[in-house]
């Protein structure tokens, strides 16, 4: 069977450099996010910001800061929410072989090579790791050439020794879409992102990509490993975690605001998704804040 993949994004470091580094702030106008992959490894550091993570088969919401390493060819969707004021995001992209085909196979690079392997499922680093390398990641934007390579190697080495992290795409499932279908999958995700708070019928979404409902259901399940309803509900639960942490809305109001018309159904799905009830989730957040 022919290999099926999402949209290939072409990354071009500036002339004379093998590492692409971009620093953005809340004042910048970002590009429209889309579902994509690239052979380059991607390191994303946000010092102050909020957004949705959609990496491989993983969906979650981050608040305040994040440090993520996305491995080669792991499909992900661009971050959709904006940075907070005074916030910045540093994006670093480089090919695994940017220092030569066998450089990271040497004994001295063993731990970094292992880090690259783990990153193929997406790594979310905890606060201590963010604090230890955050300033150096931001400094990558200020140096060039040899200095940038040495600094990146130091960052990667530090991250390779970190023990406290989460694997995001833990089941290892990789989304599959044909290159010519990239526009189709992008239309679907954009429509979900913009309309998940309302009812989205299968007729409506199938019509968006000019497919019959049975053909759409087969295509979507094969492309994502999930039913359309399951993915929409995951979007809703991720939004609920955001509202539970940021607002004073009652849990019932949160459920309805996220598109659930049945409160008990919301509670059931929230527990399935997060491992705890919505009230327990909010209670634990309050304890952390205290």
Contacts of 273 by beta carbon, 8 Å cutoff, 6+ apart: 233, 234, 237
Q: Is the pLDDT of residue 119 over 50?
A: yes
The percentage of the chain sitting over the pLDDT mark of 70, rounded to a whole number, equals 82
pLDDT at 215: 94
Query: Domain check: are 156 and 67 in the same one?
Result: yes
Residue 85's pLDDT is 52
124: left (phi over 0), alpha (psi -120 to 50) or beta: beta
pLDDT at 70: 93
Give CA–CA dist 172/180, Å, rounded.
24
Residue 179 has pLDDT above 60, yes or no: no
pLDDT recorded at residue 283: 84
Residue 29, pLDDT score: 47
Amino acid 25: pLDDT: 65
What average pLDDT does range 70-88 have in this prediction?
Answer: 69
Among 167, 196, 216, the domain boundary falls at 167
Residues 229 and 152 in one domain: no
Which long-range contacts (C-beta less than 8 Å, at least 24 apart) are formed by 186-194?
186/7, 186/34, 186/35, 188/220, 189/34, 189/35, 189/54, 189/77, 192/231, 192/232, 192/235, 193/80, 193/235
**Residue listed under structure tokens 């604090």:** 131
* pLDDT tens digits for range 121-178: 899 999 899 999 999 999 998 998 899 999 999 999 999 999 989 998 876 655 554 5
What's the pLDDT at 3? 33
Q: Are 62 and 137 within one domain?
A: yes
Question: CB under 8 Å to 74, separation ≥6 — which residues?
Answer: 37, 55, 56, 119, 120, 121, 122, 169, 174
Q: How many domains does the chain have?
A: 2
| Residue after which a domain boundary falls, among 110, 135, 167 | 167
Q: Are 40 and 63 found together in one domain?
A: yes
Residues 124 and 24 in one domain: yes
DSSP 140: T
Domain boundary among 167, 201, 229: 167
26 lies in a domain? yes
> Which of 241, 218, 198 minimizes the C-alpha distance to 62?
241
Domain contains 112 = yes
The 10 Å Cβ neighbour count of residue 80 is: 16
Model confidence at 5: pLDDT above 50:
no
Residue 187 belongs to a domain with what CATH number?
1.10.10.60
User: Is residue 264 domain-shared with residue 206, that is, in the same domain?
Assistant: yes
Please give the residue that has the higher pLDDT: either 21 or 31: 21
What is the share, in percent, of the chain residues with pLDDT greater than 90? 40
Alpha helix segments (H runs only) across 96-171: 110-119, 127-139, 145-160
pTM: 0.69
Phi, psi of 194 (to 5 degrees): -90, -15
Q: Indicate whether 95 belongs to any domain.
A: yes
User: Is 2 a residue whose pLDDT tops 50?
Assistant: no
Sign of CA dihedral 231, 232, 233, 235: positive
- 28: Cα within 13 Å, side-chain hemisphere: 14
> What is the per-residue pLDDT across 228-278, written as a single tens digit (0 to 9) for each?
998 899 889 888 888 888 788 999 999 999 999 899 999 999 988 888 899
Q: From CA 65, how far away is CA 164, in angstroms rounded? A: 16
Residues 111 and 241 in one domain: no
Whether residues 152 and 19 share a domain: the answer is yes
Task: Tell whether 25 and 147 lie within a shared domain.
Answer: yes
- Token pair in block for residue 69: 């390493």
User: Of 19-28, 52-61, 75-84, 155-164, which one has max mean pLDDT?
Assistant: 155-164
Look at residue 2 and tell me if it is in a domain.
no
Residue 61 lies in a domain: yes
- Does pLDDT of 34 surpass 80? no
Is the pLDDT at 290 greater than 60, yes or no? no
Which residues span the domain enclosing 153?
Answer: 7-167
Of 81, 59, 78, the residue nearest 238 (C-alpha): 59
pLDDT at 86: 59
Residue with the larger pLDDT of the pair 226 and 107? 107
Say if residues 79 and 45 touch (Cβ distance below 8 Å). no
Same domain, 22 and 135: yes
Residue 11 shares a structural domain with residue 144:
yes
- The predicted pLDDT at position 174 comes to 53
- Whether 29 is in a domain gets the answer yes
């Amino acid at each position: 069977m022919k290999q099926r993949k999402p949209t290939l994004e072409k990354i071009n470091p500036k002339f004379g450099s093998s590492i692409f580094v971009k620093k953005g702030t809340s004042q910048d106008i970002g590009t429209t996010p889309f579902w994509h992959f690239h052979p380059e490894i991607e390191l994303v550091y946000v010092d102050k910001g909020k957004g949705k993570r959609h990496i491989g088969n993983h969906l979650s919401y981050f608040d305040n800061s994040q440090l993520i390493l996305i491995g080669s060819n792991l499909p992900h969707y661009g971050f959709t929410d904006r940075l907070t004021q005074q916030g910045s995001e540093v994006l670093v992209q480089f090919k695994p072989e940017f220092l030569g085909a066998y450089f990271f196979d040497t004994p001295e690079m063993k731990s970094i090579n292992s880090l690259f392997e783990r990153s193929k499922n997406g790594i979310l680093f905890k606060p201590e790791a963010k604090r230890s390398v955050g300033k150096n990641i931001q400094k990558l934007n200020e140096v060039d050439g040899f200095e940038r390579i040495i600094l990146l190697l130091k960052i990667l080495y530090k991250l390779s020794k970190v023990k406290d992290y989460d694997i995001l795409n833990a089941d290892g499932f990789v989304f599959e879409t044909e290159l010519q279908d990239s526009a189709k999958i992008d239309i679907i995700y954009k429509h979900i992102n913009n309309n998940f708070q309302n009812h989205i019928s299968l007729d409506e979404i199938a019509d968006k990509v000019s497919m019959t409902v049975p053909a759409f259901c087969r295509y979507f399940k094969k492309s994502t490993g999930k039913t359309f309803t399951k993915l929409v509900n995951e979007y809703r639960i991720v939004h609920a975690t955001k509202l539970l942490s940021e607002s004073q809305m009652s849990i019932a109001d949160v459920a309805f605001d996220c598109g659930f018309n049945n409160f008990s159904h919301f509670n059931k799905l929230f527990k399935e998704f997060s491992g705890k009830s919505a009230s327990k989730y909010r209670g634990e957040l309050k304890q952390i804040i205290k």
